[in-house]
């Protein structure tokens, strides 16, 4: 099924956008982490959201989720591994592919420091998606940099399709297949010439053709290379439009202040702009 709008992020900004879009009779899919794992869910008391003083973060998020579900918003729990622009936007979550005519980015703040060489060799040996790019490295040596709970599963997938896998992490995960070699290392760097040739792990080179860096979340700028960032935040105009046509952004991802009220307001604007974009381009 192709949705009118896909929202990446299930926090206040994403749910506000989804509810607003449903109010304009658009089909909406929200993809995000479990709302119970949100930093807001750990807030003991929220006093600065208009009309809802004294609520815990958990209570507030539960109310937001309930509202979205009552409006007919579809929700998927998972991590977006890739975004491809083709007849709209195609988002990969695990082995599932979801299509949308417009996209709203509301992932919150993705805090992650890149390894040396990671950005240089992105698309030339560095990948964030085993299911997307694994077949490119069949019968070739690859390193899995495990920084997420599902990284051992993705390493097993790569091994199953014929990749020669080595798993690199500060600590061996209990779920890692015993047949997959493990290297304990914390200081990493990606090396190469035209393409990746090695992963440096605590000073020692591991010869590989590919490096799969598997974190809990992928920054929007890595998912959409054409996205313009400013000081790490997604650059938007007053309509919450990004530098990529059909893509809008809202919430903490667009920068300070990191407040629920700001996120909800920006989510509403992003959704209205996305609806106008769809109507202008002939979508329902």
Per-residue pLDDT reduced to its tens digit, 155-164: 999 999 999 9
Has residue 121 been placed in a domain? no
Cβ proximity of 247 and 105 under 8 Å: yes
Let me know: does 267 contact 250? Beta carbons within 8 Å: yes
249 and 131 within one domain = no
Residues 233 and 256 in one domain: yes
222 to each of 26, 175, 278, 279, how far by Cα in Å? 28, 27, 25, 29
Does the predicted TM-score (pTM) go above 0.85?
Answer: no
pLDDT of residue 283: 60
Residues 102 and 141 in one domain: no
Tell me how far apart the 2 most distant CA atoms of the chain are, in Å: 59
94 and 142 share one domain: no
Written as six digits, the tokens of 13 are: 């900004």
**Contact yes or no for 64/10 (Cβ under 8 A):** no
Find out whether 240 and 16 touch, Cβ atoms under 8 Å: no
The predicted pLDDT at position 189 comes to: 97
Q: Is 14 within the bounds of a domain?
A: yes
**Are 95 and 222 contained in the same domain?**
yes
Rg (CA), the chain: 20
Tens-place pLDDT, residues 138-197: 999 999 999 988 899 999 999 999 999 999 999 999 999 999 999 999 999 999 999 999
């Amino acid at each position: 099924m192709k949705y009118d709008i896909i929202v990446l992020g299930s926090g206040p900004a994403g749910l506000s956008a989804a509810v607003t879009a449903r109010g304009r009779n658009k089909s909406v899919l929200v993809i995000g982490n479990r709302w119970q794992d949100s930093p807001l869910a750990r807030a003991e008391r929220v006093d600065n959201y208009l009309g809802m003083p004294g609520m815990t973060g958990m209570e507030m998020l539960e109310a937001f989720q309930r509202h979205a579900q009552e409006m007919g918003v579809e929700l998927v729990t998972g991590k977006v591994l890739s975004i491809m622009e083709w007849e709209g936007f195609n988002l990969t979550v695990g082995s599932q592919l979801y299509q949308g005519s417009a996209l709203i980015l509301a992932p919150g703040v993705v805090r992650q420091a890149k390894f040396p060489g990671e950005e240089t060799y992105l698309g030339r040996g560095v990948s964030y998606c085993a299911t997307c790019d694994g077949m490119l490295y069949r019968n070739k040596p690859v390193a899995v940099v495990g920084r997420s709970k599902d990284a051992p599963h993705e390493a097993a997938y790569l091994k199953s399709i014929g990749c020669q896998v080595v798993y690199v992490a500060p600590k061996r995960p209990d779920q890692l297949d015993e047949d997959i070699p493990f290297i304990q290392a914390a200081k990493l760097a990606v090396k190469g010439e035209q393409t990746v040739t090695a992963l440096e792990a605590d000073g020692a080179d591991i010869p590989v053709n590919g490096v799969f860096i598997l974190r809990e979340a992928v920054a929007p700028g890595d998912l959409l290379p054409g996205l313009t960032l400013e000081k790490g935040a997604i650059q938007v105009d007053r309509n919450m439009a990004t530098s990529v046509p059909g893509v809008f952004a809202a919430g903490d991802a667009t920068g300070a202040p990191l407040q629920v009220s700001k996120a909800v307001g920006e989510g509403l604007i992003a959704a209205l702009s996305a609806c106008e974009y769809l109507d202008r381009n002939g979508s329902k």
